[in-house]
């Protein structure tokens, strides 16, 4: 039974990150054919934006070292397949394979910029500028990830103006969409709405914003609801909650796409996703990874869909 709530978007686009952000953070290295099959099943379940892989140096992210082999195997799917590009070299590799949606990965904090990119925030923005320009010139859409938008493990709470500055810089260099990441999962709904309002005031429209929540403290879905109430209509999620083991003390799992779809379906918000097929895909993938999905919806529905998973 779908019961709409007031002032929510009629349609939400899910930006599925399981194959990239999810698998990048899994210990197991997944064979290229399994990744391709995973992406095909996600498309078959109705997801229309499926982040496929990352063209970073294999030394940094060995889990995604097969980007060159994987991308051509899925490139013909009738869906949008963004890929992560860390620099100009990664962008050229992606463009050469026909990628037409790329993403750069910035940080709102100096500590994480240093840890993740070995640069200051400004140095990393300077590194991304030619990447974004070249991508736009080549006809590619560009997403800018902004991590640590709410809290940072070294710096604690992150001031809103600091996040806004990075977002504006990415918009100014040409990013079409920004994904606001709560990388350590500490955000709560008031903080989410205050960041969104401040971004609007500084000229960044809600239509250019996506949210990317982690479920470390169980807050991802309520933060998503707060963002939808502000008008955000693009939500990042990871099929089955892939990425970050739920049994580790420092679990940092992504919002599970199934838990998100359950809420959106109940609200009568169109996503195009078939929840049964998606759950079956996550059950299948959990089998390949050798551990159960941390998604509550997959746990609850998995029993009924497991029978037609293959």
Q: What is the torsional sign of CA 139, 60, 211, 45?
A: positive
CB atoms within 10 A of CB 140: 20
CA–CA dist 238, 250 (Å, integer)? 18
To its own copies, the closest distance from the beta carbon of 86 in angstroms equals: 28
CA–CA dist 260, 117 (Å, integer)? 30
Instruction: Report the residue from 77, 127, 141, 225 that binds its own copies according to the rule CB under 8 A.
Output: 225
Site for its own copies in 179-198 (CB under 8 A): 185-191, 193-194
Instruction: Report the residue from 268, 270, 272, 276 that binds its own copies according to the rule CB under 8 A.
Output: 268
Is the CB of 5 or the CB of 126 nearer to its own copies? 5
Sheet strands (E) in 86-241? 101-107, 141-147, 151-152, 156-157, 177-182, 209-213, 234-237
To its own copies, the closest distance from the beta carbon of 138 in angstroms equals: 40
Helices and strands (H, E) in the chain, number of each type = 12, 11
Asked if 143 and 179 count as a contact pair (C-beta separation under 8 A), the reply is yes
Decide: is 287 part of the binding site for its own copies (CB under 8 A): no
Decide: is 250 part of the binding site for its own copies (CB under 8 A): yes
Active site residue 149: no
Decide: is 154 part of the binding site for its own copies (CB under 8 A): no
Return residues touching its own copies (CB under 8 A).
1-6, 151, 156-157, 185-191, 193-194, 215-219, 221-222, 224-226, 246-247, 249-251, 256, 259, 262-263, 265-268, 292, 295-297, 299-300, 302-303
């Amino acid at each position: 039974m779908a019961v709409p709530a007031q002032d929510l978007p009629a349609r939400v686009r899910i930006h599925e990150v399981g194959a990239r952000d999810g698998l990048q953070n899994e210990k197991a290295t997944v064979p290229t054919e399994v990744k391709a099959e995973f992406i095909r099943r996600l498309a078959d379940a109705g997801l229309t934006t499926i982040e496929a892989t990352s063209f970073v140096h294999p030394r940094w992210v060995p889990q995604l070292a097969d980007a060159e082999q994987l991308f051509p195997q899925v490139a013909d799917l009738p869906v949008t397949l963004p890929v992560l590009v860390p620099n100009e070299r990664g962008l050229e590799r992606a463009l050469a394979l026909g990628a037409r949606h790329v993403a750069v990965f910035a940080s709102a904090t100096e500590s994480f910029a240093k840890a993740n990119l070995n640069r200051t925030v400004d140095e990393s923005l300077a590194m991304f500028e030619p990447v974004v320009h070249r991508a736009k010139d080549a006809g590619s859409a560009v997403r800018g990830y902004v991590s640590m938008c709410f809290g940072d493990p070294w710096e604690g709470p992150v001031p809103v103006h600091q996040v806004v500055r990075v977002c504006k810089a990415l918009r100014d260099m040409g990013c079409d969409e920004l994904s606001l990441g709560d990388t350590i999962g500490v955000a709560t709904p008031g903080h989410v709405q205050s960041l969104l309002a401040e971004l609007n005031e500084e000229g960044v429209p809600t239509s250019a914003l996506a949210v990317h929540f982690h479920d470390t403290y169980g807050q991802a879905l309520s933060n998503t609801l707060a963002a939808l109430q502000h008008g955000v209509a693009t939500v990042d999620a990871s099929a089955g909650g892939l990425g970050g083991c739920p049994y580790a003390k420092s679990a940092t799992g992504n919002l599970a796409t199934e838990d998100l779809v359950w809420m959106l379906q109940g609200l009568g918000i169109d996503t195009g996703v078939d929840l049964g097929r998606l759950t079956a895909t996550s059950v299948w993938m959990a089998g390949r990874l050798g551990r159960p999905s941390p998604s509550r919806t997959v746990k609850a529905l998995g029993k009924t869909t497991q029978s037609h998973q293959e």
